[in-house]
Amino acid sequence: MKKQFAIIGLGAFGEAVALELMRLGYDVLGVDCNEEKANRIADNLTQTVIADATDEEALRELNLERFDAVLVAIGEDIEASTLCTMIVRSLDAKEVWVKAITDIHHRIVQKLGADRILHPEYEMGLRAAQSMAHPNMLDYISLGDDYFLIELRPGEQLEGRALADLGIDRDKIHLLAVKHGPELMLAPAPEHLLRRNDHLILVGDEDALRRFAETL
Ligand code: ATP
């Protein structure tokens, strides 16, 4: 059966999550107390409801237990966010995701039983800093404990060079794949010659990855 998600709060963040889940082919219910916001997005979601997310009866009518995950994407009004989180949790939602904007907000919704707590502005800030510092790093995933998975775009001056000659510190970094457009070459041979628009997918220690990225 198709997965179903509920997004409560259709501000810039909630709307982006809701539309992306629709694009991925899932069913999405959007909830917002602001009639104008709800109506603006209504044609693009499976269902849209205008309701106050702090009203327990209104939320009960949505049968939130049928959704695979419910995201509380109310940021500014911490009281509304925490109250809504408490109600959603008590209504047996399977998984509760919450957008938090401060440390205290985070700690309260954690205590209330949120399964995942997101800090979009903070997380985006970290990504922006990484991209500014390393413009040839196209994407990354932090694996924790200073390990990262990254996608690097080598400079054009390296075109025609063999992977074996790039100076990868093999004790600390592993080259997983070369991505070229839609094609992914797993475990590429050391003698593979870099082509224009080849991207390197690497995993390893942060400092070693940073040193390597700076040589590209
Ligand atoms: P974003 O940063 O995602 O753009 P925002 O700053 O525009 O958010 P927030 O205060 O975080 O606004 O609220 C996000 C959405 O949640 C808004 O569309 C707002 O109308 C809605 N919202 C706020 N309080 C409630 C509530 N009690 N019930 C339902 N929706 C609410």
What is the reported pLDDT for 169? Answer: 86
Is the CB of 64 inside a 6 Å radius of any atom of ligand 1? Answer: no
Domains in the chain: how many in total? 2
Please check whether residues 109 and 127 belong to one and the same domain: no
The Å distance, Cα 3 to ligand 1 centre, comes to 24
Please check whether residues 8 and 105 belong to one and the same domain: yes
Please check whether residues 21 and 113 belong to one and the same domain: yes
Residue bearing the CA closest to ligand 1, atom 23: 74
Q: How far apart are CA 162 and CA 193, in angstroms?
A: 4
The Å distance, Cα 72 to ligand 1 centre, comes to 9
Please check whether residues 34 and 53 belong to one and the same domain: yes
Q: How far apart are CA 180 and CA 184, in angstroms?
A: 6
Of 118, 137, 158, which residue is a domain's last?
118
Please check whether residues 145 and 163 belong to one and the same domain: yes
- Which residues of the chain register pLDDT less than 70? none
Q: The CATH number of the domain where 193 resides is what?
A: 3.30.70.1450
Residue bearing the CA closest to ligand 1, atom 5: 11
Torsion angles phi and psi, residue 141, rounded to 5: -130, 130
Of 85, 118, 151, which residue is a domain's last?
118
Structure tokens that stand for 77 in this block: 């009004």
**15-55: per-residue pLDDT in tens?**
999 999 999 999 999 999 999 999 999 999 999 999 999 99
Atom number of ligand 1 nearest to Cα 80: 27
The Å distance, Cα 100 to ligand 1 centre, comes to 12
Distances (CA, A) of 144 to 148, 149, 172, 175, 177: 7, 10, 15, 19, 21
What is the reported pLDDT for 4? Answer: 98
What pTM was estimated for this model as a whole? 0.83
Determine the residue type at 105. Answer: H
Q: How far apart are CA 138 and CA 177, in angstroms?
A: 14
Please check whether residues 80 and 136 belong to one and the same domain: no
Of 118, 135, 167, which residue is a domain's last?
118
The Å distance, Cα 9 to ligand 1 centre, comes to 5
Please check whether residues 84 and 149 belong to one and the same domain: no
Please check whether residues 161 and 111 belong to one and the same domain: no
What is the reported pLDDT for 208? Answer: 93
Q: What is the 3-state secondary structure (H, E, C) of 25-37?
A: CCEEEEEECCHHH
Q: The CATH number of the domain where 108 resides is what?
A: 3.40.50.720
Is the CB of 154 inside a 6 Å radius of any atom of ligand 1? Answer: no
What is the reported pLDDT for 170? Answer: 87
Residue 200 C-alpha from the chain's centroid: 21
Q: Which helix (H) or strand (E) holds 125?
A: helix 120-133
The Å distance, Cα 66 to ligand 1 centre, comes to 23
Is the CB of 33 inside a 6 Å radius of any atom of ligand 1? Answer: yes
Residue 68 C-alpha from the chain's centroid: 17
What is the reported pLDDT for 56? Answer: 97
- Could you list the residue range(s) of the whole structural domain that residue 178 is in? 123-215
The Å distance, Cα 65 to ligand 1 centre, comes to 22
Residue bearing the CA closest to ligand 1, atom 20: 34
